[in-house]
Each structure stands twice: as C-alpha cells, then as structure tokens.
Amino acid sequence: MELAEHKKRNRRKMTKDHWTAVAFLIPSVILILIFVYGFIAWTGYVSVSNWSTLVPDFSFAGLQNYISLFQDYRFQSDLRNTIFFTIFFIGLVIVMGLGLGILIDQKLKGESLFRNIFLFPMALSFIVTGVVWQWLLNPSTGFNQFLKFFGITPKWYTDTNILAGFEWGQIEFGVPVAIIAVVIAAAWQMTGFSLAMYLAGLRGVPDELREAARMDGASEFQIYRKVVIPMLMPITVSVIIIMAHMSLKIFDLIYAMTGSGANFVTDVPAVYMYETTFKGNNYANGAAIAIIMLLVVAVFIVPYLWNSRKGDH
C-alpha cells in the first residue's frame, strides 16, 4: 500500500521532466517511424508486387518473387557464399582478435603502438580495402609475384572451384575457394575491432582470479582456457552479433574487390539486389531480396536484443 503510494507520488513528481523528454524524443521517433519502419513496410509491399520494369506495377504477385528467387541459380549461390563468408569471417576475426589481444595484454613495451597498428585498417572504408586487396590478391600481380618463387600460385578470388561440393538445388553446395580471398580482406579490416573489444575484456579480468588459479597450480594455458576465455564470453557474443550483421549485409567490399565473380563464386545478396534493381529495373525482385536479408539479419539480432532487454530489468 505504502509502496504504491510512493510510486504514485514519484510518478507525479516526474511528470514535468517526463514530458520534456517525450517532447524531445517525438521528432526522432516520427522520423524513424517514417524513414525506417515506413520504408521497410513499403519494401515489403513492393516485394509482393509485379513491379519489374521502369513502370511501377503494384498488382499483387503473391510470393512469386520469393519463389523464383529461391529457384534462381544466382540467389542460391548468394546464400551459399553468404553462409561460408559469415562463418569464416567471424571465426577468423574472433581467433585473430583474441590472439592479438592476449599478446598485447602481456604488458609489453610499445603496447599502444601495436594496438594502433592493428586498429588502423578500421579507419578505412570497405571500398578502399576492396580496391587494395583486389590488387594484392590479383592472381597475376600482387602476392603471387612473390609466391611464385615457391611454386605456389593460388588463383585467389578468380578460383571457381567449390570444395567438398555436392549438388544442391541448381548449384554445387560447398566452400567456394574464391570467398576465402574476400574473407582475408574483410578480416584484415575488422580484426582491429574485435581486438579492441577483447583487450577491454581482458583488462576487466581481475588479477586476483589469475593469481588464485596460479596458486591452484594451473598452467598459463589452463588459466586462459578455463578462466579468462570463459569470462570473455559476453564479449565474444557481442563480436559475433556485430560481425554477423555486417557480413550478412556486406556489399561495398565485394563490389569494389571482386564483383559477382566468375560463376557467381563471390556474389552476395546485396550485390544481386543492387544489380537487379538498378540495372535490371526489377524492383519487386530487389525488394524481395532486401526483405530476405532483413529476415536473416533479424534471426541474429532479435534474440540478442531480447536478451539484453531482459538484462536491463
């Protein structure tokens, strides 16, 4: 009873501040409602229409655009590429970020110099990274000029082989070798980010814990494996979420570096979306790809948001 009374009084007291806050929030809420959610709804509407030329045609097509996409050779290739790109990219970024983070955390001299060097690539735009790595991994220039002395000349992003492939739908499902070149470029750029995250996390692991483990006779390796890395779990989850939504939507790096690639070995949904919409004028098809991408990203993001919301309470 008393508690309720207190709450009530509290709410009344808050009223003025409360309304000021709401007043400040309303414009941005309205803008976001229109320009984010409104246009998502609009895209959804276009994706079930027949708008496939420059002439808008909003007649209802049902799920036809989605069905034809999933039967499409190029889109199936895109899904395959996105899956493997995401897995390799996140894996590499986590392993490299954690590894470098642990090395830098050894209180070595010139620590901040190394930290900055590893953080640099993040300051570049993906377009720059794409152009640079396009030349570095070009099979006839770049690294191969050096590697050929050892008798190895990988074809990098022009390789059309699919490793461990098997027939799936219209395509061969397996690891496209060419995507590895793109993964290297993407990981080069984003490792600095996970390094920074892990470094912050490592600094948060209390020395007492390590000390205690050491007293119990754990080796350095065991300390990391059993104490430190499990404590970094929340950071790993954050890195996975952030990298996943980046890699599932990737466009600029691929577009600048390789394009669709021979036989679509480096194509991704975002590139297909851009080309079918603005080159082929097939707006309904492009909208359908956009919605599918949104759903795929949502699969990662929504549970995360849900979780962190629960954490707040």
Partner 1 sequence: MKKVCGIFFMLALVLGLAACSGDSDEAEGSSNSDSEGGDSANTVEIFSWWTGAGEEDGLLALIDLFEKENPDITIENAAVAGGAGTNAKAVLATRMEGNDPPSTFQVHGGDELNEGWVAADKMQPLNDLYEENGWQDKFPQELIDLVSKDGDIYSVPVNIHRGNVFFYNKKVFKDNGIEEPETFEEFFAASEKLQEAGVVPVALGDKNSWPATQIFENVLLGVLGPDDYKKLFEGEIPFDDERVVEAAETFGKILDHINEDHAARNWQDSAQLVANGEAAMLNMGDWAKGYFVNDLEMETGEDFGYFEFPGTKGEFQVITDTFGLPKDIDNEDQVEKFLTFLGSTEAQDVFNPLKGSIPARTDADESEYDAYGKEAMKDFGESRLVPSLAHGSAASAGFLTKANQAVNIFVTQRDVDNFIQALKDASSDM
Kindly tell me which residue out of 133, 157, 188, 224 binds partner 1, with binding defined by CB under 8 A: 157
Smallest distance, partner 1 to C-beta of residue 95, A: 24
CB nearer to partner 1: pick between 4 and 54: 54
Cα 268 from chain centroid (whole Å)? 13
Q: In the complex with partner 1, which residue's Cβ is closer, 66 or 224?
A: 66
Burial tier of 89 (Cβ tally within 10 Å: 0-12, 13-18, 19+): buried
Q: Interface with partner 1 includes 105 (CB under 8 A)?
A: no
Please state, in angstroms and rounded to a whole number, the distance separating the CA atoms of residues 82 and 140.
26
Encode burial over 208-236: b for 16+ CB neighbours within 10 A, e otherwise.
eebeebeeeebeeeebbeebbbeebeebb
- Does the footprint of partner 1 cover residue 222 (CB under 8 A)? no
Q: Does 145 bind partner 1 (CB under 8 A)?
A: no
Backbone angles phi and psi of 175, in degrees to 5: -85, 115
Q: Residues with Cβ < 8 Å from 275, sequence gap 6 or more? A: 260
Asked if residue 156 lies in contact with residue 139, where contact means CB atoms within 8 angstroms, the answer is yes
Alpha helices in the chain (DSSP H): 2-32, 39-47, 64-70, 73-104, 111-119, 126-136, 144-147, 177-203, 207-215, 220-222, 229-231, 233-248, 252-257, 269-278, 283-312
Q: From its phi and psi, is residue 171 left (phi > 0), alpha (psi between -120 and 50) or beta?
A: beta
Question: Which x/- pattern, by CB under 8 A, does the window 54-73 give for partner 1?
Answer: xxx----------------x
Nearest approach, Cβ of residue 92 and partner 1 (Å):
22
For partner 1, give the closer residue by CB, 236 or 260. Answer: 260
Q: Which of 280, 295, 303, 306 binds partner 1 (CB under 8 A)?
A: 280
Contact with partner 1 (CB under 8 A) among 160, 222, 307, 308: 160
Which residue number, 162 or 187, has a Cβ lying nearer to partner 1? 162
Among 47, 81, 86, 158, binds partner 1 (CB under 8 A): 158
Q: Which of the ranges 22-30, 111-119, 209-217, 240-248 carries the binding residues for partner 1, by CB under 8 A?
A: 111-119
Binding of partner 1 by 83 (CB under 8 A):
no
Q: In whole angstroms, how close is the CB of 113 to partner 1 at the nearest point?
A: 6
**Structure-token pair, residue 27:** 């414009």
Binding site for partner 1 (CB under 8 A): 52-56, 73-74, 110, 112-113, 116-117, 119-120, 123-125, 127-128, 134, 138-140, 155-158, 160, 258-264, 275-276, 278-282
